[in-house]
Amino acid sequence: MTASVKGERCRPSNYKEVKIAEQTYHKNLGAKVRKLREELGIKQAEVARALGVRQSFIAMLENGQKVPVFRINQVLNFLGYEIDFAEKNTQYMLN
């Protein structure tokens, strides 16, 4: 941990790298979700209607914005997939 200066939050020294990795993860996951949805011929609005969320939420997910994990699971389950969080590899695994 780096020392905090008055008025600043404590952040680990690798904070930027962690944020970049997190953003990359969400972007890649979103692209994968979009690809799966499009391969099935399902529109964003159809997924949104089935899950009781707005179409803009599905667009946010597919564009790599951070969304709650349970919602990601709902979308993937609707598309017939799931994330294997038990996988030892740091990358997500879709089954």
Residue type, 79: L
90 pLDDT tier (thresholds 50, 70, 90): very low
Q: Lowest mean pLDDT: which of 30-34, 37-41, 86-90?
A: 86-90
Q: 1-27: per-residue pLDDT in tens?
A: 455 455 557 777 888 888 898 899 899
**With 50 as the cut, is the pLDDT of residue 74 above it?**
yes
Q: In whole angstroms, how far apart are CA 42 and each of 3, 13, 16, 65?
A: 50, 43, 36, 20
Query: How many whole angstroms separate alpha carbon 3 and alpha carbon 37?
Result: 45
Burial class (CB in 10 A: 0-12, 13-18, 19+), 12: exposed
38 pLDDT tier (thresholds 50, 70, 90): very high
3-class DSSP state of 75: helix
Closest CA to 54 of 67, 36, 64, 41: 67
Token pair for residue 18?
Answer: 């962690």
